[in-house]
Amino acid sequence: MPDLTSGADVAAVNALRSAVMRLSRRLKHQRVDESLSPTEMSVLGTLARCGTATPGELARKEHVQPPSMTRIVAMLEAKGLVRLEPHPEDRRQKVVTQTERAESMLEESRRKRNAWLAELAGKLDDEEWAVLQKAAPVLEKLAHL
């Protein structure tokens, strides 16, 4: 593992943090449905990637407290974006499943964000684009550590 405490490494980590945060903020503004919070969109994205989950599992994946996730799920259910169903093995629990409406909204959101990002990336030269393509799996790994 690299030691990232030297001056140059600290500066590189700072630059990476700053760039990722700015790009993330700009991407968040490319939303299809302005009535959903970024947290609600994130929960829907997690359900799309991971499938059905209990509110407790969603809370862990989203790094929020279970009571907060219960409120988020209730809001999403009220908007018709998720449904609660009995847990197949534990009757005391419920599982959260996204609806078709949520799936289509997420697909439209991905299309909009991808188009925006593609437009930006189209302004890079070939070498910059190649570097960015190689960095994508590493950034994905960082996002899930």
Tell me, what CATH number does 116's domain have? 1.10.10.10
Evaluate whether residue 16 is within a structural domain.
Answer: no
What's residue 55's pLDDT?
95
Evaluate whether residue 98 is within a structural domain.
Answer: yes
Question: Residue 70 pLDDT more than 90?
Answer: yes
Number of domains in the chain: 1
DSSP letter assigned to residue 33: -
Spatial contact of 98 and 105, defined as CB atoms under 8 Å apart: no
Considering only residues 90 and 31, tell me which one the structure prediction assigns the higher pLDDT: 90
Evaluate whether residue 120 is within a structural domain.
Answer: yes
Among left, alpha and beta (phi > 0; psi -120 to 50; other), residue 80 is left
Evaluate whether residue 5 is within a structural domain.
Answer: no
pLDDT digits (tens, 9 = 90+) for 80-134: 999 999 988 888 889 999 999 999 999 998 899 999 999 999 999 999 999 999 9
Evaluate whether residue 132 is within a structural domain.
Answer: yes
Evaluate whether residue 23 is within a structural domain.
Answer: no
Evaluate whether residue 81 is within a structural domain.
Answer: yes
Evaluate whether residue 134 is within a structural domain.
Answer: yes
Classify residue 34 by burial, with Cβ atoms within 10 Å: 0-12, 13-18, 19+. Answer: exposed
Spatial contact of 36 and 54, defined as CB atoms under 8 Å apart: no
| Cα separation, 101 vs 120, whole angstroms | 29
DSSP letter assigned to residue 30: S
The half-sphere exposure of 98 on its side-chain side, counting CA atoms within 13 A, is 21
Residue 136's domain comprises 31-143
